[in-house]
Amino acid sequence: MYRLEKVDYKNILKIDSLHIRGREITFIEGESGSGKTTLLRLLNKMITPDRGSIFFKNTPISTINSVLLRRRAVMLSQEPVIFQGNIRENLLIGLKFSERAPVSEKDLSAMMTLLHLEKSLDDPVVKLSGGEKQRIALGRVLLMDPEVLLLDEPSSALDEDTEHLMIEALVSFTKDRGKTLVMVTHSKKIIEDFPTRIIQLKKNTAYDDKEVDRPC
C-alpha cells in the first residue's frame, strides 16, 4: 500500500526503507519523540518529507492531490477534536468534510453500539468525557469507510477493558472489510493481544525494514 524510500523529515524521522502492506494491520511503536505521529502525518500528506519518496500504491504521493489522498487514507490524531453540535453531527462530519452523503440513522446507531457508547445521538458534546470524545472521533473515521485508516493512539484515553473491546472491534472491522490499518500505540498489552506486523521506531536511528521488522 505504502512504500517509503530514503525519507528524511527535519531530524525527527529517518527511514531508509519501509513497506506497509495493503489489507493488513500494522502497529507502530516506539518511545516518544521517535517520530510515530510524524510517520502517520507523512502517510496522510499533512507534511511533506525534506528528502526521499513515498509511494501510495506505486504512485509517488507527491503527484497525488492531497485532498483526494486524505479521503482514501484518513488520519485520526491523538487528541480527539470535537466540533460544535451534537454527537450525530460529530459522527457525520467526516463524511461532510469529504463531500459525501450522510449515512442512515440505522448505521449511526450501529456505530454507537460498536463504540460502546450508551448515549443518544442528539446529546450535546460538551459534557462528554475524554474517552467518549476519543471514541466519537474514531467512529467518525470508521463511518467514512476509507481504504486506509491511519490512527494515532486511538485508545489512549480509554480504560483497559474498553480499550480491548475497541481494538477488537477495530481489528475485525479492518479484517472483515479488507481495509489497511496503520496504528500507533504505546500499549504493550495491545501488541501482545493482537499479534500483527510491528514497526518499531527508535529515536535518532534510521529505520530500515530489513533490520528491525518483526512480523508476527
List of residues contacting other proteins (CB under 8 A)? 44-48, 65-68, 70-71, 74-77, 79, 81, 83, 93-94, 97-99, 140-141, 144
Between 44 and 155, whose beta carbon lies closer to other proteins?
44
The smaller minimum CB distance to other proteins, of residues 149 and 198, is found at 149
- Closest approach, Cβ 97 to other proteins, in A, equals 4
CB of 65 to other proteins, least distance (A): 8
For other proteins, which is the closer residue by CB, 180 or 198? 180
Q: Which is nearer to other proteins, 93 or 167 (CB)?
A: 93
Question: Closest approach of Cβ 150 to other proteins, in Å?
Answer: 8
Taking the complex as a whole, the smallest distance from the CB of residue 214 to other proteins amounts, in Å, to: 28
Separation of alpha carbons 14 and 18, rounded Å = 11
21 Cβ neighbours under 8 A, 6+ residues apart: 1, 180, 197
Nearer to other proteins, 48 or 109 (CB): 48
Q: Compute the least distance from the CB of residue 151 to other proteins, in Å.
A: 11
Nearer of residues 76 and 190 to other proteins, judged by Cβ: 76
| Shortest CB 67 distance to other proteins, Å | 5
